């Protein structure tokens, strides 16, 4: 049975677990490095990225998480989680903050955060089908620069009139600036599970000659 871990240091991890259970997969809380073993995918939830990074450091999780993301294991970062898996971040506190990296993007930590703390929007995300999807943004980041090969799945109008990316994917990595676990729509979770299945199939396929 597919098992998905949800990093449970801080933030909205319980809601992700409930969504995963509704989709019939096993969901477990991850607080220790050894709890990453045997997982098929990992969700890094929303919350506060600086606090989450500090707790991860204290609990010896930074290197194991880095290894996880960089070795191509399926990972989904939502909101603060998206900040942590970005290769570069702007708008950080003095001295910066620990990032795990893995996704070649530049994220602005509080892109939507300073003007409005929280808002909801309808997003067009063709990868989920023609129906727009409701998204909850809470002091939300946005991606302002995208590296080669990163697929933008949804955008919102940005401050300079240019669209900014709020959902992205590259290989086994998914990133969303909003909180899909706070709505009733399971489509983002279903997409991630599909990515996990693809990674499992690739791992078990015979190597090409």
- Annotated catalytic, 181? yes
Which two structure tokens, joined as six digits, stand for 42?
A: 């990992």
Q: Judged by CB, which is closer to ligand GLN: 27, or 80?
A: 80
Q: Judged by CB, which is closer to ligand GLN: 5, or 77?
A: 77
- Annotated catalytic, 198? no
Which residue among 139, 170, 183, 186 contacts ligand GLN (CB under 6 A)?
139
**Which residues are within 8 A (CB) of 196 and not within 5 positions of it... i.e. 6 or more apart?**
2, 4, 40, 41, 74, 172
Q: Judged by CB, which is closer to ligand GLN: 80, or 156?
A: 80
Which residue among 14, 29, 35, 48 contacts ligand GLN (CB under 6 A)?
48
Alpha-carbon distance 10 to 110, whole Å? 18
Which of positions 54-113 make contact with ligand GLN (CB under 6 A)?
79-80, 83, 109-110, 113
Contact between residue 83 and residue 89 where contact means Cβ atoms under 8 Å apart: yes
Pairing of strands 163-170, 151-157: antiparallel
Active site residues: 79, 179, 181
């Amino acid at each position: 049975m597919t098992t998905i871990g949800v990093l449970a240091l801080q933030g909205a991890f319980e809601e992700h677990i409930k969504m995963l259970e509704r989709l019939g997969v096993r969901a477990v809380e991850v607080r220790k490095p050894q709890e990453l073993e045997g997982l098929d995918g990992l969700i890094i939830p929303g919350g506060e990225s600086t606090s989450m990074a500090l707790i991860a450091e204290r609990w010896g999780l930074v290197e194991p998480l880095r290894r996880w993301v960089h070795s191509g294991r399926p990972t989904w970062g939502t909101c603060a989680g998206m900040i942590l898996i970005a290769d570069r971040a702007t708008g950080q506190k003095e001295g910066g903050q620990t990032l795990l990296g893995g996704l070649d993007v530049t994220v602005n930590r509080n892109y939507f955060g300073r003007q409005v703390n929280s808002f909801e929007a309808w997003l067009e995300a063709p990868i989920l089908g023609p129906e727009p999807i409701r998204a909850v943004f809470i002091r939300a980041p946005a991606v302002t620069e995208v590296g080669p090969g990163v697929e933008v799945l949804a955008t919102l109008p940005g401050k300079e009139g240019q669209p900014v990316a709020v959902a992205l994917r590259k290989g086994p990595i998914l990133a969303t600036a909003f909180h899909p676990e706070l709505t009733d729509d399971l489509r983002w979770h279903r997409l991630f599970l599909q990515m996990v299945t693809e990674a499992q199939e690739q791992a078990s396929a015979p190597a090409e000659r």
